[in-house]
Amino acid sequence: MFEPLSRDGLAKTAVFYTAHGKINTPNILPVINPNIRTLKISEMKRLGMEALITNSYIIRRTEKLREIAESSGLHGLIGFDGPIMTDSGTFQSHVYSEIEYDNISTFEFQKRIGSDIGTILDIFTEPNFTWNKAKEAVLETRRRLDEITDPGKTIVAGPIQGSIYSDLRSMSAELMSSGISGYLPVGGVVPLLENYRYDMLVDVIINSRLHSDPGKPLHLFGGGHPMFMGMSVLLGIDMFDSASYVKYARDDRILLSDGSRDLNRISLLPWWSPLYGKFTVKEIQDLPKEERTRNLALHNLGAIFNELNEIRERIHEQTLWQYVEGRSRSHPALYRAYRRILEYGEMLEPLEDLSKKSPFFFFDELSRNHPAVIRLRKFSDGMISSLKGKVKFLDQGDWHPGRQHSAEFMANYSRSDTAYFHRWHDIPVPVELEETFPVEQLVTTGVFEDNTEPDDPVDSGSPMDDALSGDMKDLYLEKARMIFRYQFGFNDGSAMFPDQCEVTHSRKTGRIRGVFLDGSLLGTVRAHDGFFTLSIKGAERLMNLTDRHRISVSEESAEFNRKGFNVFFKFILSADPGIVAGNEVLVTDHSGELLAVGRANVPGREMMSYRRGVAVRVRAGTDPSS
Ligand code: GUN
**Tens digit of pLDDT for each residue in 558-610?**
999 999 999 999 999 999 999 999 999 999 999 999 999 999 999 999 999 99
Q: Which of 352, 374, 473, 370 is nearest to 420 (CA)?
A: 473
The pLDDT, as a whole number, for residue 396 is 60
The pLDDT, as a whole number, for residue 464 is 46
**Tens digit of pLDDT for each residue in 70-114?**
999 999 999 999 999 999 989 888 777 778 899 999 999 999 999
Residues with CB under 6 A from ligand 1: 87-88, 90-91, 119, 122, 124, 159, 187-188, 190, 221-222
Nearest ligand 1 atom to the CA of 188 is 6
The pLDDT, as a whole number, for residue 461 is 45
- Cβ-contact 87, 159 below 8 angstroms: no
- Cβ-contact 327, 230 below 8 angstroms: yes
Quick one: pLDDT band at residue 472, thresholds 50, 70, 90? confident
Pocket test for ligand 1, best of 87, 156, 176 (most atoms within 8 A of CB): 87
Residue with the smallest CA separation from ligand 1 atom 8 is: 90
CA-CA distance, 221 to 190, in Å (whole number)? Answer: 7
3-class DSSP string for 558-616: HHHHHCCCCEEHHHEEEECCCCCCCCEEEEECCCCCEEEEEEECCCHHHCCCCCCCEEE
**Tens digit of pLDDT for each residue in 193-226?**
999 999 999 999 999 999 999 999 999 999 989 9
**Please, which residues have CB within 8 angstroms of residue 134's CB and are 6 or more apart in sequence?**
125, 161, 162, 163, 165, 168
Of 87, 213, 238, 589, catalytic: 87
User: Rounded to the nearest whole angstrom, what is the distance from the C-alpha of residue 236 to the centroid of ligand 1?
Assistant: 18
What average pLDDT does this structure show over 438-458? 68
Quick one: pLDDT band at residue 402, thresholds 50, 70, 90? low
- Cβ-contact 47, 40 below 8 angstroms: no
The pLDDT, as a whole number, for residue 445 is 87
The pLDDT, as a whole number, for residue 463 is 45
**Tens digit of pLDDT for each residue in 304-361?**
999 999 999 999 999 999 999 999 999 999 999 999 999 999 999 999 999 999 999 9
Percent with pLDDT over 70 in the chain? 94
CA-CA distance, 428 to 381, in Å (whole number)? Answer: 8
Name the amino acid, one letter, at 229.
Answer: M
CA-CA distance, 193 to 526, in Å (whole number)? Answer: 43
- Cβ-contact 195, 158 below 8 angstroms: no
Sheet of 11-18, strands arranged across = 2-8, 11-18, 21-25
Name the segment(s) of the chain with CATH classification 3.20.20.105: 2-244
The pLDDT, as a whole number, for residue 624 is 83
Residue with the smallest CA separation from ligand 1 atom 6 is: 187
Quick one: pLDDT band at residue 408, thresholds 50, 70, 90? confident
Nearest ligand 1 atom to the CA of 157 is 9
What average pLDDT does this structure show over 498-506? 94
Nearest ligand 1 atom to the CA of 89 is 9
What average pLDDT does this structure show over 547-560? 97
Pocket test for ligand 1, best of 103, 141, 221 (most atoms within 8 A of CB): 221
Percent with pLDDT over 90 in the chain? 83
Quick one: pLDDT band at residue 459, thresholds 50, 70, 90? very low
The pLDDT, as a whole number, for residue 388 is 72
User: Rounded to the nearest whole angstrom, what is the distance from the C-alpha of residue 306 to the centroid of ligand 1?
Assistant: 25
**Tens digit of pLDDT for each residue in 228-258?**
999 999 999 999 998 999 999 999 999 999 8
Is 102 designated active site?
no
User: Rounded to the nearest whole angstrom, what is the distance from the C-alpha of residue 32 to the centroid of ligand 1?
Assistant: 15
Written as one string, the DSSP assignment of 247-284 is HHHHTTEEEETTEEEEGGG-----TTSTTBTTB-HHHH
User: Rounded to the nearest whole angstrom, what is the distance from the C-alpha of residue 93 to the centroid of ligand 1?
Assistant: 9
**Tens digit of pLDDT for each residue in 114-155?**
999 999 999 999 999 999 999 999 999 999 999 999 999 999
**Tens digit of pLDDT for each residue in 162-194?**
999 999 999 999 999 999 999 999 999 999 999
Task: Domain 502-621: give its CATH architecture.
Answer: Roll (2.30)
Q: 3-class SS at 516?
A: strand
Residue 483 pLDDT > 60, yes or no?
A: yes
Q: 3-class SS at 117?
A: strand
Q: Which CATH class is domain 2-244?
A: alpha beta
- Cβ-contact 322, 361 below 8 angstroms: yes
The pLDDT, as a whole number, for residue 357 is 94
Residue 57 pLDDT > 50, yes or no?
A: yes
Quick one: pLDDT band at residue 398, thresholds 50, 70, 90? low
**What's the DSSP call for residue 292?**
H
Could you count the other beta carbons within 10 Å of the beta carbon of residue 286?
10
What average pLDDT does this structure show over 409-423? 84
Quick one: pLDDT band at residue 422, thresholds 50, 70, 90? confident
Could you count the other beta carbons within 10 Å of the beta carbon of residue 554?
12
Mean pLDDT of the chain: 93
Q: Which of 156, 152, 212 is nearest to 183 (CA)?
A: 156
Instruction: Give the chain's end-to-end CA distance (angstroms, integer).
Output: 31
- Global pTM reads 0.95
What average pLDDT does this structure show over 425-438? 92
Pocket test for ligand 1, best of 92, 124, 126, 148 (most atoms within 8 A of CB): 124
Name the segment(s) of the chain with CATH classification 2.30.130.10: 502-621
